[in-house]
Structure 1
């Protein structure tokens, strides 16, 4: 007879990363316990109100901030952005981009163009 399948669990930080949310902004009960794979799947399928609000309003983790600003994570650091930003803060930066953001967007776009060029060359 085989052993019953053990439930796979993860740390709250891992679960928050998979959900694309900023862990310190999640409810305390989420931060203080392990999350099972089934619970994570359920959160993704049927997000509770707190998750919907976090995804909509933030604060957002660095990878989400970088994606919404169209720069790399390193570009955020070079621009001096070290904290999580809300959707409103990201919108303000997009509406009135500072010089560092314009520069980092250009650099990021150039890197992406070069990656596409190399990928095309590799397929030929």
Structure 2
């Protein structure tokens, strides 16, 4: 979707597959899915991915709180089986809720935190691989 004066627009959608999600995907060029390594999150991302497939958009995955459940490999296995590239993994980091309390993005409030560094790496991958 190209808006006047903008090269790129990122739309953060609600979780699930409701009307807001469908509306945000309907005008998108790419879907970046974010999931946690838990059975519930896997189920949710699988449902959203079916909607993404309906719109025939390329999909990518970011794993949030990647280290909270190291034994749970089903999320990565599913992404691989569907051919969904994993852009990166963001570790659980207490600086994230702290930054939310401060009403600031974690990358601004705690730029040297584990989460901020992982996000910065993902942003670079997105710039090189998706926004080229």
Compare the two structures and name the one with the higher strand fraction.
Answer: 2
Give the structure-2-normalised TM-score.
0.26
Give the structure-1-normalised TM-score.
0.27
Compare the two structures and name the one with the higher helix fraction.
Answer: 1
Higher relative contact order (CA 8 A, sep 6+): 1
Task: Name which one, 1 or 2, has greater alpha-carbon Rg.
Answer: 1
